[in-house]
Structure 1
Amino acid sequence: MLPMGSFSRCLAAAGLTLFFAGAAQAAPDPGSPVGTANVTVADPTVPRPPGTPCVVQLFSNDTFDDFNTRPFNYTPPAGCGTRWSKVVLEADFSVTAGRQFDRTATIFLDGVNLFFGTTQEPTSTLAPSWHVERDLTDYSALFRNAGNGQADIGNIVNGTYTGVIQGSARLLFYPASAVAPAAKVPDAVYPIGSDPVGSTVLLQASANQMSATLTLPRNVERAYLDVFTQGQSTPDEFWYTCVPTQYANQTGECGGGNFREAEISIDGQSAGVAPVYPWVFTGGADLFIWKPTPGVQTLNFLPYRVDLTPFAGLLSNGSPHQVTLTLAGVNYYFMATAALLVYEDPHAAQVSGQVVRNTLADQAPTPTIGSTLATSASGETTGNVTTNLSRHFVIEGYVNTSHGRVDTTVDQTVAFANTEIFDVIPNSIYDQTTEQLTSVEGHSVSRTGTWVSSEFHQSYRYPFYMLSNQTFTDSAGDSTIETNIRQGFDEHVAFSVDGFPLYAADVHNHHEGSDSIDYDANYDILSHAGQNSKQVFTFRDSLGGCYRASVSAANDVVTGYNSGNGCPGQQNRVFWFSHPDGAPFGASPLPAW
């Protein structure tokens, strides 16, 4: 689908290292896919503990050819206990050969999202298939009781759009053992949304909100919010290329600006922010760039986890509380979903506490806009438009627990920078470059008296670059658009207790690609040339875990694939409890041995 404008657009203690020696497992290698045109990515699968899992099939070979949901019933696994070392969602999708748009795909259970992603587009001769996984261990409390769920892949099938999507999904429960003990997981999971079975919530303006009024247990110690926000439909599918409305006519680009950020509040008080990742769907900008390797997380989004622990005492006071998400900058069509995860004090029926400091409350999400745009007498427009916002905030709160008063401080700097560069000559050229970087530096510290009971540092970078050069080739309006895209996901996490480092990990997922398409005056594709792309995925942790893989493609087929190169022994090895895909951690990254 074409956007507006020129296109429709490692630090571990030695003792711990020795303790875990030999506990890593080799990451599976699917073998060389060189020569295939089917979906191929460098992402790691979710690592597993030893043992045979119990399996619950959620749905099997469901067909998605309309906009109706596909309901299913869930029953906990029989004979597998109620506490597991790991819970993993596996899902497999395919679309028949023909013509079809990229479609949004979700799976929900009792209002809680289990999967959120999009689909690959087929060709007239290729019926692509793909596999996705998500670590759902932190959602274990949800799976202890029977429930109702639904899968949703809204899809048009008619004489023009012929691709039929099929999908299956199952949950794998790994029983706890001495080697892989039960994970320390949240005691409850609450959906933030209006549908009791589950669906995303439409946000069409900054005043729209997704919220839930909850009366929580009176012994909440920690709280986190997992957030997904996905832009859809013009212009929000390509929000990262838009300009402030006052420059839209001059540049010919979509208005509304390019700053997007989820704002979290509790009872109207600012409680945290969640940056928006610039996902590009498989029909985005230039559909050939994503064949056969889609962009970063395109088929399988990761949630952003917001630490709400300073509010634990407030949430435990027995009163109803409203947890709300709004989206700053939204300009027509964003879908959102979120889940609240809470840890309870097992030795206290009631705790108390309050928020004592909140500097986010006085900082509105209002970016600074700059412009050097100039339009000459001949009509040529050149220059750039900049959008910048950086906020540092501190939120502090305490909770009186069975093991004493715990003070928690969340200290974050969240920054956004976007530059749109234009060179536009009417009926001749339309050149636009997008350079964007979203970054987060976060530090969460909990203290019991003078003892630092936990310390978590997180760093995220979402670099994004898109170059679109359009040249009109004749008076009839035919044109050629050359597109280059680079995007990345960079994560660093580190955990320590009272200054003693326990675990650190780094994830880097980068994709780059280019292509050139010839269009007629109606933007129907005449031909394309020069398609190439490459994805590189790396993971390392302070316990010796290592994963490296890369896939390159040209002319719509895989031309190169490497797995393990750069890791010790040229082999991927990760611990079963690690998160090599960059998924968020719970209260602790290490098993409770």
Structure 2
Amino acid sequence: MAASSAHRCSFLLLCLCFTLLLCFRSCAAFARAARGIRFSVGDIAAVEAALPSLRQAKKTTFFEVDRPLRPPRGSSGPCSTLLLSHAFASTFNKPPVTAAYSPPSCLADAGGGARAVSLAVLEWSADCHGAQYERIFGVWLGGAELLRGSTAEPRPGGVTWTVNKDVTKYASVLAAGNSTLAVYLGNLIDDNYNGVYNANLTLHLYFRSAARSPSAASAPADRVIPVSRSTPLNDGLWFVVDNTTEVESTRLTVPANAHRAVLEVYVSSHDFDEFWYMNTPDQNGPFREVTVHLDGDVVGAVWPFPVIYTGGINPLIWRPITSIGSFNMPTYDVELTPFLGKLLDGKEHELGFAVTNAQKSWYVDANLHLWLDPKASATSGGLITYNAPKLTGSIVSKSSDGIDGEYDATASRNISATGWVSSSRGNITTTFTQRLTFVHTNVVSNQGSTQAINQTTEAHTEVTGDGPHTQQLHQSFPLYIFLGGDGSGTSSQRLMRRVEIGFDEMRAGSGERSASTLHNAQTAAAEVVLRDDQVVGASWQMHQVYEYGGSDGGCYSRNVSSVGYDVLFDHNEASCAGTRRR
């Protein structure tokens, strides 16, 4: 793990947090209630046993709703290659499972190298029987992370699931000669947890016709440099950030003829910060951001989508339809092209990550995507303007007893940079801007036993200039969570959970697939009934609406609902007529 340096957080926000820490010494009971947002494997097993119709259940297929991946018209393939097959048993705190990788022969046969690939799909297919928590896994090729997700949490009859991820952007990595594939899934086997995760990893390649080639705006990067830890190690290749002052980093050099640079960031939260969006002021509050540091300066920020793993809040909610991003976690792009003037000096530069208000633990790494000038051995550049004011925000308590009441948090950040790069394409200026806002309310009642959380993250990113890579991206992550119950102190009790979560996105810009909209929303609820501390009943339901519209005609809509393990209806349409105009 790289050495840490001081994290220059917002002084205002830290002062507010410190003041509130002094005010919340009496909220230990509420803190304990807030941690009661994860049911144990034994709890869920008791629910299964209490419902006779579920006792002899066969293997269940869990799924995350996403649009199907289809190659562009005129593509050939697929050419499919099994990369890895492994049973992940006692793998916690052990080295990643590795396998030698060579580009499939069909890639060479297609001609054109990486640019011949029209679509690359990485398929993760797995199953598990027995008792086990969900586990986080990551897949790296040559040190570049290709996929991160959580496993399904199994049930007695077994569970199976499949993830298909578009990895076309990594075409240069897939074509780059011999390298090492690494997969980490930290599983634990003991007297109580015996579930083994059996996984197969397969690469499917499709190829464009010789007459078609990607436009300059849509072509994948010519080089991808990993910003991750190197093997050997007894963990994943991600950096681990455990507190708000820690900066994890690595040093790298950039090819002399680079003319564009985009950093793709992977991030996931764990341990005390798994449910960061529910944290109280004495737990550093509910706001988190990942800041990207270049030679000590903040050059970008990621305000993460609140991924809920398949064992989170109440595992029943995510059966069989799993939470948004749980099997295939989202990544986040930070445009570093304005800073290429600094990176093109032939020297090593430090690229690192910090997490504002972090508690243990955050897993962060990244891939630096670079586009190279094929007609020049060297490019040059310079930074014109750079503005990264400190984070602003507040946490406000409206409580008379230090437990029940309303706790509000807000945050905002703006970052902008303009730089030029001179290449065979001419002198091109690029401006990168981020405008980020966060609003959160947590209403606590019944002496800390009930919480209602409303939260929205808004992220607006623009890449503008006189080059071909212009883009506007607006993302919105609404979240509502209710935790409560009734019958406290009596022989009969109901434990209730409700989650409403959304991932909304609008893109506009240059390239073959320049514009798109996505509306992805889930509404889910679960109720467990106890009598004399024994589970006597349970019910849960999920409804999800997924609507995607693309300017290339690649539209898809899906409306699916489940009650218990049964899917009531599942309507999908691969037509732009089925998507909502917003």
| CA distance in structure 2 between the partners assigned to 1:567 and 1:184 by the alignment | 25
Q: Among residues 244, 248, 255, which one is paired with 2:281 in the alignment?
A: 244
Deviations 1:444-491 (A, max 9, x none): 1122xxxx6442110001111101113353268x85321110111111
Counterpart position of 2:42:
none
2:528 to 500, 512, 517: 517
Partner of residue 456, structure 1? 471
Q: CA deviation at 1:208?
A: 2.0
Q: Structure 2 length normalisation: TM-score?
A: 0.83
Tell which deviates more after alignment, 363-372 or 104-113: 363-372
Aligned CA distance change for structure 1 residues 372 and 566 (closer, same or farther; 3 Å): farther
Query: Aligned equivalents of 1:48 and 1:4: distance in 2?
Result: 49
Please give the alpha-carbon distance, in whole angstroms, between the structure 2 residues aligned to 1:541 and 1:137. 17
Given the alignment, which residue of 205, 216, 231 partners 2:254? Answer: 216
**Equivalence for 1:584:** none
Please tell me whether the aligned partners of residues 354 and 399 of structure 1 are also in contact (alpha carbons under 8 angstroms).
yes
- Measured in 2, the distance between the counterparts of 1:366 and 1:62 equals 47
Greater shift in the superposed pair: 144-153 or 195-204 = 195-204
Q: Given the alignment, which residue of 210, 214, 221 partners 1:186?
A: 221
- Written as runs of structure 1 = structure 2, the 5 A alignment for 1:374-393 is 374-375=400-401, 381-393=403-415
**Residue 101 of structure 2 is aligned with which of 62, 74, 96?**
74
Structure 1 residue 277 and structure 2 residue 292: aligned?
no
Contact 1:220 1:315 in 2 (8 A): no
Structure 1 residue 502: Cα displacement: 7.6
Match of 1:563 in 2: 572
AA in 2 matched with 1:218: A
Structure 1 543/99 Cα, relative in aligned 2: closer, same or farther at 3 Å? Answer: same
Describe the SS at the equivalent of 1:52.
Answer: strand
Q: 1:37 to 1:550 in 2, by over 3 A?
A: farther
CA offsets, 1:89-123, max 9 Å, x none? 11101111x22111111111121111100011112
Which SS does the other structure have where 2:77 is aligned? coil
CA-CA distance at 1:528 after TM superposition: 4.4
Alignment of 1:349-364 (within 5 A): 349-360=377-388, 363-364=389-390
Runs of 4+ displaced beyond 6 Å: none
| Contact 2:59–2:160 under 8 Å retained in 1 | no
| Superposition pairs of residues 140-539 of structure 1, within 5 angstroms | 140-143=171-174, 144-178=176-210, 181=213, 184-196=219-231, 199-233=237-271, 235-245=272-282, 255-360=283-388, 363-375=389-401, 381-425=403-447, 430-447=449-466, 453-474=468-489, 479-496=493-510, 503-518=514-529, 526-539=535-548
Residue identity matched to 2:453: T
1:367/1:389 contact within 8 Å kept: yes
Shift of 1:349: 1.4
- What's the CA shift string for 1:198-252, capped at 9, x where partnerless? 622211012222322111111211111111111111x21111101111xxxxxxx
Q: Distance in 2 between matches of 1:281 and 1:520?
A: 28
Change (3 A) 1:79 1:480: closer
- Do the aligned partners of residues 567 and 193 (structure 1) sit closer, same or farther apart at CA in structure 2, a change above 3 Å counting? closer
- The one-letter code of the counterpart of 2:101 is Y
- Cα RMSD for the two superposed structures: 2.5
Please report how far the alpha carbon of residue 350 of structure 1 lies from its aligned counterpart in structure 2 after TM superposition: 1.4
Q: CA deviation at 1:162?
A: 2.0
Distance 2:361 2:493 in 1: 29
Q: Is 1:38 the counterpart of 2:61 in the alignment?
A: yes
Cα distance change of structure 1 residues 432 and 446 upon mapping to structure 2, 3 Å threshold: same
- Check whether the contact 2:137–2:148 (CA below 8 A) recurs between aligned residues: yes
* Matched residue SS, 2:287: coil
User: How far 1:167 moved relative to its partner?
Assistant: 0.2
CA distance in 1, matches of 2:165, 2:228: 21
Secondary structure of the corresponding residue to residue 275 of structure 2: helix
Q: Which amino acid aligns with 1:442?
A: T
- CA contact 2:60–2:160 (8 Å) conserved in 1: no
Residues matched between the structures, number: 512
Structure 1: which amino acid aligns with 2:178?
Answer: A
Q: Which amino acid aligns with 2:81?
A: V
| Counterpart position of 2:168 | 137
* Structure in which a larger fraction of residues adopt helix: 2
Which has the higher mean CA deviation after the structures are superposed, 558-567 or 280-289?
558-567
CA distance 1:386–1:550, change in 2 (3 Å): same
Summarize the Cα distance change of 1:120–1:179 in structure 2 as closer, same or farther, 3 Å threshold: farther
Shift of 1:180: 5.3
Residues 193 and 545 from structure 1, CA distance in 2 versus in 1: closer, same or farther, beyond 3 angstroms?
A: closer
Q: How far apart are the structure 1 equivalents of 2:205 and 2:525?
A: 41
Aligned pair in 2 of structure 1 residues 554, 179: CA closer, same or farther (>3 Å)?
farther
Shift of 1:567: 4.3
Q: Secondary structure at 1:53's aligned position in 2?
A: strand
Give the secondary-structure state (helix, strand or coil) at the position aligned to 1:58: strand
**Quick check: 1:42–1:550 contact (8 Å CA) kept in 2?**
no
Residue-by-residue CA offset, 1:45-104 (whole Å, 9 max, x unaligned): 3222431133332102434443233211101111422222222211101111x2211111
Cα deviations by residue, 1:10-59 (Å, 9 ceiling, x for unpaired): xxxxxxxxxxxxxxxxxxxxxxxxx9952134312322243113333210
CA distance in structure 2 between the partners assigned to 1:4 and 1:71 by the alignment: 40
Question: Residue 120 of structure 2 aligns with which residue?
Answer: 87
**Identity of counterpart residues, as a percentage?**
26
Per-residue CA distance 1:175-198 (angstroms, 9 max, x = gap): 331465357221111111222476
